[in-house]
Amino acid sequence: MNSPRTPDSTGASGDEVRVTAVVRGVVQGVGFRYRVLRQAAKLNLTGSAVNQPDGSVVITAEGLPSAVDGLVEWVRSPAAPGVVESVEEHHSPATGEFSSFDAG
């Protein structure tokens, strides 16, 4: 369960960050998005994991910096399902765009 957040003028808590990660490899059809959702819930992150037509998955996650880093570390680890060949990350301030994590 996500705890309530105190938004700033952008809708995000001032100490939160955002990562957008493009994950390539064998990451579709192996339960990857579902497991990202579960890991994000454990870390109290909001965002999404979306399959792309090229076979990659784009993860957008917002939360505390340590939690966001933890998700990216998990994606790169052997614990993530499938075969992760590469992860391209872009970090930015959180926007507060998400109220939960969606892997639909």
* Catalytic positions, written as ranges: 33, 51
The secondary structure of 40-97 as a DSSP string is HHHTT-EEEEEE-TTS-EEEEEEE-HHHHHHHHHHHHSTTSSSEEEEEEEEEEE----
